[in-house]
Amino acid sequence: MRIGFAGTPVFASTALQALIDAGHDIAVVLTQPDRPAGRGMKLQASPVKMLALDHALPVLQPRSLRLDGKYPDDAGAARQALQQAAPELLVVAAYGLILPQWVLDLPPRGCLNIHGSLLPRWRGAAPIQRAIEAGDRETGITIMQMDAGLDTGDMLLEAALPIAPDATSASLHDELAALGARLIVDALAAAALVRRPQPADGVTYAHKIEKAEAAIDWRRPAAELERRVRAFDPFPGCSFELDGVTHKVWRAEVDSSASGQPGEVLQAADGRLVIACGAGALSLRQLQQPGGRRVDVAAWLQSNPGLAGRRLATPAA
C-alpha cells in the first residue's frame, strides 16, 4: 500500500521500520522540526527523520499544519507536498502536531493512529505514564481511525499488554512500541476491519506530564509515590529537595511496616534510606545528584551522611 507516515520519537520509528520491512511504499514522512538537545543544545533530528533519511524517504518538517495558524507557509507547503505524494492512507504515531481536517480528509482511506492504551481509557498525550501512575494492571495498543476529536475515533484493532509490577515508562514504552509496530502491520494486511465506536463509559484523559509534577509530596501514600517514580522514569524523574539541592529518585519500594511524620527520614544507614509518607514509608533504592549519574542508595548515602531524623520538605500546596 502507498502510505504516508507521521511520527516523531522512537515509539513512532519502531512502527515506521515495521512498515518498511513489510514492503509498504512510504510516499512521504512527516515529523517534528529538529530540536536543540544535549548539553551543547545542538539541533537534533527526530528518530523518525533519521530512519527516513536512512531509507531515502521524503521528509516534511512543518512547524504547523494549520493553514490559518502561526505558520501558514509551512502548512501550505506541507499540503502541496502531501497532495503530490498522494498516499492512500496516513499512519500516525506520536507525531506531536494536531492534524487539521484537511489532513484527515486528504488520504482516500483516512488516517490511522497507533495509540498507546486500550481506548477509551487514557486518551491524550501521556497514556503510558498515566497507566503506571494509576496502578493499572494492563494497557495495550489501539489502532484507531482518526477523527477531529482527541483520540475519539472508531477502533479497528486492539491488543492488551500486562503491566509488570516493576515496569517503568521506559520499559513499558519499548514493549508497547513493538506491539504497536506489529499491530499496524496486521491492520494494513487485514482484508477487512470492523470499525467499532468507542464506549461512552470508561473515558479517562492522560494529561501531558509537567515538570512541576516531579517534586515528591511526602504527604501522599507511599504506594502512590512508588508508582509515580516508575511512571516518571525517564522523564521528568521524581525529585526532592535536600539543603536547597534537587536530588532525583529513580527506584523506590514501599515499606508498609514503617511510619512517621511525612518527610521524616526514618533510616539512613546500612544501605537503606527510608522516608515516612502520608501512609507507610518509601525506601529509596536508586538516586541521582545534580550533574551525577544514577547510583544505588548506599553510594548516595556516602555523599549525604547524617540524615536520620531530619525532615524533608514537601512542595507548597
CB 22 within 8 A of CB 105: no
The CA distance from 18 to 114, in Å, is 13
User: What is residue 39's predicted lDDT score, i.e. its pLDDT?
Assistant: 76
> pLDDT tens across 211-246, in order?
999 999 999 999 999 999 999 999 999 999 999 999
Query: Which among 190, 235, 288 is positioned nearest to 10, based on CA atoms?
Result: 235
Q: Which helix (H) or strand (E) holds 147?
A: none
The CA distance from 270 to 272, in Å, is 6
CB 26 within 8 A of CB 5: yes
Neighbours of 191 (CB within 10 A): 4
pLDDT along the chain (317 residues), means of 10: 96 98 98 88 94 98 94 95 97 96 97 98 97 98 96 97 98 98 97 91 96 95 98 97 95 92 96 96 97 96 94 81
The CA distance from 289 to 267, in Å, is 19
User: What is residue 10's predicted lDDT score, i.e. its pLDDT?
Assistant: 97
Using CB atoms within 10 Å of the CB of residue 241, give its burial: 0 to 12 exposed, 13 to 18 middle, 19+ buried.
middle
> pLDDT tens across 154-207, in order?
999 999 999 999 999 999 999 999 999 999 999 999 978 899 999 999 999 999
The C-alpha cell that represents 257 in the structure block: 511496616
The model carries a pTM of: 0.94
CB 100 within 8 A of CB 65: yes
| Alpha-carbon distances of 145 from 106, 141, 198, 264, rounded to whole Å | 14, 13, 11, 50
The C-alpha cell that represents 130 in the structure block: 498515566
Query: Which among 252, 274, 276, 249 is positioned nearest to 262, based on CA atoms?
Result: 276
Beta-strand pair 59-60/25-30: parallel
Angle at 126 between CA 142 and CA 295, to 5 degrees: 120
Domain ranges of the chain: 2-206, 212-303
Using CB atoms within 10 Å of the CB of residue 193, give its burial: 0 to 12 exposed, 13 to 18 middle, 19+ buried.
middle
Question: Domain 2-206 carries which CATH code?
Answer: 3.40.50.170
Does the domain made of 212-303 have the CATH classification 3.10.25.10?
yes
- At residue 33, the 3 state secondary structure works out as coil
| Alpha-carbon distances of 70 from 62, 222, 260, rounded to whole Å | 11, 45, 53
User: What is residue 185's predicted lDDT score, i.e. its pLDDT?
Assistant: 98
